Amino acid sequence: MSVDLQAKQVEPLRNTFGHVAKYVKGNKPASRYEEATMGAQPTTNFHYRPTWDPQHELFDASRSKVVLEDWYVLRDPRQFYYGTWAMARAKQQDAVESSYQFVESRGLLDAMPDELKALVCDVLMPLRHVAWGGNMNNCNIGAIGYGTAFTAPAMFHAMDQLGVAQYITRLGLAIEGTKVLDKGKQDWLDNPNWQVLRRYVEDTLVIEDPFELFVAQNYALDGLLYPLVFETFIEDRLTMEGGSAVAMVTSFMSDWHKETSRWINAVLKAAAAESEANNQLISGWVNAWSDRAQQALAPIAQLAMQDRADASIEHARAELDSRSQKNGLAAK
Amino acid sequence: MDAQVKKKKLGLKPRYQAMTRGLDWQTSYQDMDKVFPYDKYEGIKIHDWDKWEDPFRLTMDAYWKYQGEKEKKLYAVIDAFAQNSGQLGISDARYVNALKLFIQGVSPLEYCAHRGFAHAGRHFTGVGARVASQMQSIDELRHYQTQAHTISNYNKYFNGMHKSNHWFDRVWYLSVPKSFFEDAMTGGPFEFLIAVSFSFEYVLTNLLFVPFMSGAAHNGDMSTVTFGFSAQSDESRHMTLGIECIKFILEQDPANVAIVQRWIDKWFWRGYRLLSIVAMMQDYMLPKRVMSWKEAWEMYAESNGGALFKDLARYGIRPPKGWEDACEGKDHISHQAWNTFYNYNAAAPFHTWTPNAEEMEWLTEKYPDTFAKYYKPRFEYYGEQHKQGKRFYNTTLPMLCQTCQIPMVFHEPGDPGSICYRETDHQDVKYHFCSDHCKEIFTNEPEKYVQAWLPVHQIYQGNCFPEGTDPTVEGFDPLAAVLDYYEIEVGKDNFDFADSEDRKNFREWKGGVEEEVSP
């Protein structure tokens, strides 16, 4: 029997949707990221003003002082759309699960000296609440930001922050049970070490400009916090002192920080590159919020790194400043 | 090593509590009312957010695992569909017009839902409600994106989809879904949840999804079926949120009942009017039909909805005010809507047609009391005219209802021979409505509905021409200018299916096989 394989080639009439095509260079097919993202948000002829914010339209670029001719320049270099994001996180979750299995089957967390366990909990448990603030702030960027290229990754980031808060919770439960969570919350609310940071987080919760909020949360605060805690404290110090189990089960956080930094850098870089005015504005925010974040994190550095506290936080700040330089932001 | 003490494992509920509610705190450097400024002005009183029962105790790790798995399967099907030219396997090219309505009018609503739930997910003071809303926000984003990816392949081969988002913001009938969702999003977070999670997702969603998804299955569109199935487990979570939120609000304070009742009255009717477009899709646009709108209404609204409102009676909630009129309309609205689009097909980027003989028979059988008497003669007449080369296109603009924005085409309840008109004066301006219920929605909140961007008014005000158009030049053709502003490709996206490029192309791709199309 012979099979006729001469199927007639049907030529497509077009490559993609019009609202996507204008962002695709040349006559190329659009990527999945582009079809999921570009031009997705409604832009005009809105019917009613929000009863909760009658000064603005539902989707309104003027909620930010940053001015962009087209907010879709804020592309995500990771090219995340829901599917790639969910699949990437599922894979990372598999890795976290194997780490927990490894650590728990060998009793590695229990085997840590009590003082080290206490130190881990003292430093990490209040950070559940910092991540929760990060969740709320990124959710807010998703709710009031302009352009899907900017807001969709912010919403993924919000859920990631919830994931981080839950990973820290899981670690606390694995080490000691709910009482360390309670103590962490008590420290967060009352312990003087945490009050400057709590004030910082609460102040970000009322920032009205979505881009300033992005800078204060994702760039200044997390840009200092993650290197300080998840790299210097956990990967450098704890690993040397018998706490590598903690490093294993928190590897998501340092990996996540590296991955998401690519996106955060790209957003800042593109927005600042568009005009001198944007650059001044964003650089001003970066400098002001980084100064505040550095102060807020100083007591945490003390708690985590003791005599190496100053060096650690200054190192983190120097790294952030050089990152800013690479992103084309005006030097301080 | 034998001394290793096993820590007591937490049960599911306390563990979930630690994973979510335990994260929150009472702010003190900033006032709580400033951190959560939006969940009091609607008048809903919440005394104890801890009474909120988490409808699905899903932590992010589990969420990623389930959703990642689903995405893997879904994209495998979408890839295979494109590779195998799955678009050639559909029943006939008329079917694609159902997908056009979907990508033009439904997918952008998924996007709006994503945005609305992000707002609710930030602004409820209660953590449980916040996390549930956030998860729904990314689910809705997922639906927008998977729909774009699924329908992308059709867009490559058929007209009427390529400017879907541009049309959503501009084209006359798409202001119906757009204004519906913007109405919900511009309300406070409680009204948004009652509108979308309860009235739409819980009460009416089956009437949207079942017709589209089983329509796809019957008509050989396996990629749409797959995203439908894949979205279903998200939808069941969303419906659970809908029922949880209404019970929670009603149990918190007796004064909430009256506010919620007014929202149910409003959103049931808004949703019902929006579904007219689904009704006509179901009865007229599926070459292989699943069930009639009337049957779907009886199954999903009358029997399921009836039971639901019996259940809610113990809170003091009665069925929505428009309920009886909606049930009375089941014999009519699909025919009235299709007739409207048949009329205005020059300005609509999808195709219409008159039903063929076999379809007329089906409609007569499904609507024994109304079709043959009121609607069939009209379609027969249109068909006759078309055969003589006089396809009827209405070139005047219809009057729109100020609330639902649908042209005034619905009958006076109980009197199919006359059109229902209502009007009211507000600050010396006259406003027009399609029904008592749309009028009441307006009079409850006139300051909102006077803002409506009514497409017909906007055209007459000259706001729907391309920039730089001079309407005073001699021979100015306003309809052509509007189609230009819409970016409709005249002759490709619009007009009758019989004369369409879609039909011609599909016939060629299939090797000349002709479908049963009238005339």
CB contact under 8 A, B148 and A17: yes
pLDDT > 90: percent of chain B: 85
The two three-digit tokens of residue B156, written as one number: 């490559």
Tell me if A202 and B35 make a contact (CB, 8 A cut-off). yes
* Amino acid (1-letter code) at residue B306: G
| Contact yes or no for B25 and A39 at CB 8 A | no
Task: Look at B348-352, B468-472, B483-487 and tell me which has the smallest mean pLDDT.
Answer: B468-472
| Residue B202 belongs to some domain of the structure | yes
Range of the domain at B443: 49-509
Give the rounded distance of the alpha carbon of A196 from its chain centre. 21
- Separation of alpha carbons B397 and A167, rounded Å: 59
pLDDT tens-digit map of B42-67:
999 999 999 998 877 899 999 999 99
Cα→Cα distances B123→B39, B110, B189, Å: 7, 20, 7
Give domain status of residue B265, yes or no.
yes
Least Cα separation, residue A261 to chain B (angstroms): 21
CATH number at residue B384: 1.10.620.20
Neighbours of A200 (CB within 10 A): 22
Q: Under 8 Å CB-to-CB from B414, ≥6 apart: which residues?
A: B328
Quick one: pLDDT band at residue B297, thresholds 50, 70, 90? very high
Give residue B228's pLDDT. 87
CA B415 to chain centre: 28
Question: Among partner residues A8, A81, A93, which is closest to B61 by beta-carbon distance?
Answer: A93
In-domain check, residue B3: no
Whether residue A48 and residue B148 make contact (CB cut-off 8 A), yes or no, is: no
B158 belongs to a structural domain: yes
Of A81, A92, A181, the CB nearest to B18: A181
- Tell me if B350 sits within 8 A of B493, measured CB to CB: yes
Which residues in chain A have Cβ-Cβ distances shorter than 8 Å to B119? 52, 143-144
Indicate the number of domains in chain B: 1
d(CA B316, CA B258): 9
pTM score, whole prediction:
0.96
- For residue B25, give the nearest of A49, A173, A185 by CB distance: A185
B4 band by pLDDT with thresholds 50, 70 and 90: very low
In a domain, B17, yes or no: no
Neighbours of B369 (CB within 10 A): 11
pLDDT exceeds 90 at position B204 = no
ipTM of the complex: 0.96
Mean pLDDT of B123-142: 96
pLDDT tens figures, B97-115: 999 999 999 999 999 999 9
DSSP secondary structure letter of residue B407:
B
CB contact (8 A) between residue A45 and residue B175:
yes
- Give the pLDDT score at B514: 63
Which of B58, B141, B488 has the highest number of chain A CBs within 10 A, making it the mutation to test binding with A?
A: B141
Helix or strand holding residue B384 (H, E)? helix B376-387
Beta carbons of A145 and A154 less than 8 angstroms apart? yes
Residue type, B129: A
Domains and their CATH numbers in chain A? 80-326 (1.10.620.20)
What are B313's two structure tokens?
């009676």
Give the tokens for residue A118: 């206490």
> Is B186–A169 a contact, with Cβ atoms under 8 angstroms apart?
no
Of A58, A173, A203, the CB nearest to B30: A203
Query: Going by C-beta distance under 8 Å and a sequence separation of 6 or more, which residues neighbour residue B81?
Result: B87, B150, B153, B222, B223
- Which chain A residue shows the shortest CA-CA distance from B510? A8
The residues that bridge with B430 in the sheet, in sequence order, are B425
Is position B212 within any domain? yes
Residue B426 has pLDDT above 90, yes or no: yes
CA A59 distance to own-chain centroid: 23
Indicate the helix (H) or strand (E) that contains B423. strand B422-426
Contact A10 B138 (CB under 8 A): no
Name residue B419's beta-bridge partners: B411
Indicate whether B40 belongs to any domain. Answer: no
Q: What is the DSSP string of A116-154?
A: HHHHHHHHHTTHHHHHHHHHHHHHHHHHH-SSHHHHHHH
- Residue A212: alpha-carbon gap to chain centroid: 14
Which tokens is A7 given?
């199927």
Nearest-CA neighbor of B335 among B281, B383, B295, B390? B281
